[in-house]
Amino acid sequence: MTAVIVRASIAPMHAEARVSSPQTSQRLAGHTVEVLEAAGEWLRVRGEDGYEGWMHRGYVIGASDKSAPGPARRTLSLGCVARDAASGSSHALPLGAWLAPTESFVSGSAIDDQNRAATFPRNARAIARTAVERFAGTPYQWGGVSPWGADCSGLTQTTFWLHGIPLPRDAWQQAEVGDDAGTTAASWRPADLLFFSDRPDKRITHVGISLGDSRMVHLALGRGGYAVERFDATDDAYVVALMTRFVLARRIRL
């Protein structure tokens, strides 16, 4: 299998080898994908999280290209503008993208990868804070993984990834990770994952991150995107309906 690097700020992954097919996920600039199959201008790729989908060749460059991020010191975008030394052009990069070696930081926020553990420590309250602060105002977008637009499991996956903890891509997959965190709001701690279903068979369709104190942050279509819920808000019809769909909670091992 051949490894290639995403060169666009965001590269959509599609269900089929055509641009009109549904977006199932995204990969961000500087991230590696493995090519599993080629069909004309389309590549079936597997991301670092094991998730597979179709991506157009225009979004990627070869791993040997000098503009591809190498294993040495890398710069992680926290939402910034970078300038390419060769072309002189500038472009925006979302939270979670890597700057290429030929790019320099212009504005916004970015960190050296060596400072990542200090900026995003592996503790529950820090993880919950990252979800609240870094994704505030994010619109809902099916398959999205960044504050430019994300779905529920994109929020959880990117948040935990920033803190050095890999999670699977989809909510139903994430529900199979970690330990049981109980069934009542009083038992849920910050960074516990809370899972819901709107299907008769209870297959997981939604996930949020507990903030403790009977609160949760999530990205929900019913809210248009980012929202912080209070489970004791019994006068809120959305919250009441949401809690009827609760299935289980998981505590990720940190």
Give residue-wise pLDDT tens across range 38-85: 999 999 999 999 999 999 999 999 976 555 555 567 999 999 999 999
Global pTM value: 0.95
Domain range enclosing 105: 75-114
Question: What is the CATH classification number for the domain harbouring 25?
Answer: 2.30.30.40
Buried b (16+ CB within 10 A) or exposed e, 87-104: eeeeebbbbbbbbbbbbe
- Report whether pLDDT(23) > 60: yes
pLDDT value of residue 86 = 87
Q: Is residue 68 part of a domain?
A: no
Same domain membership, residue 126 and residue 110: no
CA atoms within 13 A on the CB side of 9: 19
How far apart (Å, rounded) are the C-alpha atoms in residues 2 and 60? 12
- Report whether pLDDT(111) > 90: yes
**Residue 226's pLDDT band (boundaries 50, 70, 90)?**
very high
Q: Please, are residues 134 and 159 in contact by the beta-carbon 8 Å criterion? A: yes
Same domain membership, residue 239 and residue 156: yes
196-199-205 Cα angle (round to 5): 40
Same domain membership, residue 229 and residue 206: yes
Q: Is residue 67 part of a domain?
A: no
Please provide residue 101's backbone torsions phi and psi, each rounded to the nearest 5 degrees: -60, -25
Same domain membership, residue 126 and residue 102: no
- Span 7-35, average pLDDT: 98
- The C-alpha torsion from 62 through 63 and 66 to 68, rounded to 10°, is 100
Same domain membership, residue 243 and residue 211: yes
- Span 101-114, average pLDDT: 96
pLDDT value of residue 168 = 98
**Residue 220's pLDDT band (boundaries 50, 70, 90)?**
very high
pLDDT value of residue 63 = 77
How far apart (Å, rounded) are the C-alpha atoms in residues 248 and 83? 45
- Report whether pLDDT(142) > 60: yes
Same domain membership, residue 130 and residue 101: no
pLDDT value of residue 71 = 54
Same domain membership, residue 95 and residue 53: no
Burial of 173 (0-12, 13-18, 19+ CB in 10 A): middle
Same domain membership, residue 21 and residue 143: no
